[in-house]
Amino acid sequence: MSGAPFRLAPLDAGCDRAGFNSGVESLDRYLREHVNQDVCRRVAACFVALAEGRRSVGYYTLASASLLLADLPASIGKKLPRYPTIPAVRMGRLAVDQMFHGQGLGGALLADALDRTARSEIAAYALMVDAKDEAAAAFYRHHGFIALPDSPFTLFLPLATVRTRAE
């Protein structure tokens, strides 16, 4: 997304969200009407891509989560400690305004989420997502995410494989 006029930042009261339209009404309504409550209650953190005039043109949310060891592919699970659950961070939502689809912004938001999660001092094994449909799952697989064998719309990417940005 070289040269694109976007800035990624934590959501704040000055972000203009009124016209956000990803093509998925539930994701749009969440950004307009519900995300503030989740952020205030610390059940989600939200990061936005801002275009000129502080217009929100993309966003994602992060929250702590866990994966059941037994749900992971056997080849991965056998390399992890025998704890029943493995710590993870869930990217609960990811959406880009339709006017900006196909310009690299979704990939940039995902890279930002991975970088932010991999840099955290709080350990997590993976970034996980619940894809809402096959197209979303394909987007995540394209970026290296691995589907749970019995739940193909739940995907994860081990953070040890993520190269964080230089300070």
Ligand X SMILES: CC(C)(COP(=O)(O)OP(=O)(O)OC[C@H]1O[C@@H](n2cnc3c(N)ncnc32)[C@H](O)[C@@H]1OP(=O)(O)O)[C@@H](O)C(=O)NCCC(=O)NCCS
Q: What residues act catalytically? A: 140
Please classify residue 32 by burial: count the beta carbons closer than 10 Å to its beta carbon, then call 0-12 exposed, 13-18 middle and 19+ buried.
middle
Give the binding range for ligand X (CB under 6 A) out of 11-19, 45-53, 75-83, 99-107: 99-107
Q: In which order are the strands placed within the sheet that holds 146-148? A: 7-10, 45-51, 55-68, 85-96, 126-130, 151-158, 146-148
Q: Give the span between the Cα atoms of 44 and 99, in whole angstroms.
A: 26
Beta bridge partners of 130: 154
How many alpha carbons fall within 13 Å on the CB side of residue 13? 1
Residue with Cβ nearer ligand X (106 or 158): 106
69 vs 115, beta carbon nearer ligand X: 115
With respect to ligand X, which residue has the nearer C-beta, 29 or 78?
Answer: 29
| Residue 101 found at the interface with ligand X (CB under 6 A) | yes
Nearer to ligand X, 113 or 118 (CB): 113
Residue 88 makes contact with ligand X by CB under 6 A: no
| Contact flags string 119-148 toward ligand X, x per CB under 6 A | ------------xx--xx-xx--x------
Task: Name the minimum Å distance from CB 108 to ligand X.
Answer: 6
C-beta of 39: minimal distance to ligand X in Å? 19
Site membership for ligand X, residue 23 (CB under 6 A): yes
Handedness of CA 65, 71, 77, 78 (dihedral sign): positive
Degrees to nearest 5, angle at CA 26 with 48 and 138: 75
Minimum Å gap between C-beta 100 and ligand X is: 6
| Residue 68 in tokens | 């059941």
Per CB under 6 A, does 104 bind ligand X? yes
Do 21 and 58 touch, CB atoms closer than 8 A?
Answer: no
Residues within the interface to ligand X (CB under 6 A): 22-24, 27, 94-96, 101-107, 131-132, 135-136, 138-139, 142
